[in-house]
Chains A and B, each alone.
Chain A
Amino acid sequence: GNSVTQMEGPVTLSEEAFLTINCTYTATGYPSLFWYVQYPGEGLQLLLKATKADDKGSNKGFEATYRKETTSFHLEKGSVQVSDSAVYFCALSHTGRRALTFGSGTRLQVQP
């Protein structure tokens, strides 16, 4: 079956530090890959996505590249801010299973 594995948190960084949150997946065929973010007290919202191999999704300074050879979709940001503190979820879906399969989530805490 499908699965998503992401690094456990919490990840604690100082403001302006470089961020990487690792995500790897197992799926049949060619899934679409997503990063969702949940800010404190708010609902889930899409951060970025990529729908085919070698695509790069980007938004708000965050980037992730769909790497089929390593089945990965690592999230990166060059300089984090306190406002980026949230829980980040990696997820996948595809034509055979349109519902999202989520990773366990990674809590990011950015300190001033």
Chain B
Amino acid sequence: GAGVSQSPSNKVTEKGKDVELRCDPISGHTALYWYRQSLGQGLEFLIYFQGNSAPDKSGLPSDRFSAERTGGSVSTLTIQRTQQEDSAVYLCASSPSDRAGTDTQYFGPGTRLTVL
């Protein structure tokens, strides 16, 4: 079946602009995660959605970052007033339910964001 897809694959923007990154999880997966991968910080958790529960936003680095998940499927990560330190690869992952923290997370190919 289809895996996790993300768009765009690459995004170049100017400092101060807003960007939106999209994630389509594997069909039927109720858990969805956003991470970012950067040279200086490695792989960092950003936000987690599980079904209709309130999202875990504990990893968001500032209030410029937000995410939503519509209809329990597609998710959008929005970064407002982008800064150069936001440059990274943004990864989305999904898993079937993950209530026990044991499920495998399946990762998308990522969106490479470059802020000039």
Seen from chain A, the residues whose Cβ lies within 8 Å of a Cβ on chain B are 31-32, 34, 36, 42-46, 49, 51, 89, 91, 93-105
Contact = CB atoms under 8 A, between A and B. Distances in A.
Given A44-B107, A99-B33, A99-B48, A94 B43 contact: no
B102 interface: yes
A52 B98 CA distance: 15
Nearest to B45: A99
Contact of B107 (A31, A45, A105): A45
Interface of B: 31, 33, 35, 42-43, 45, 48, 50, 56, 59, 91, 93, 98-102, 104-110
- Interface of B: prevailing SS: strand
B104 A100 contact: no
Nearest to B41: A104
Contact of B102 (A46, A51, A97): A51
16 contacts: A32-B101, A34-B104, A36-B107, A43-B91, A43-B108, A43-B109, A45-B107, A46-B106, A89-B43, A91-B43, A94-B101, A95-B99, A98-B31, A98-B48, A98-B99, A99-B56
Smallest CB-CB A-B distances: 4 pairs: A102-B43, A99-B45, A44-B107, A94-B101
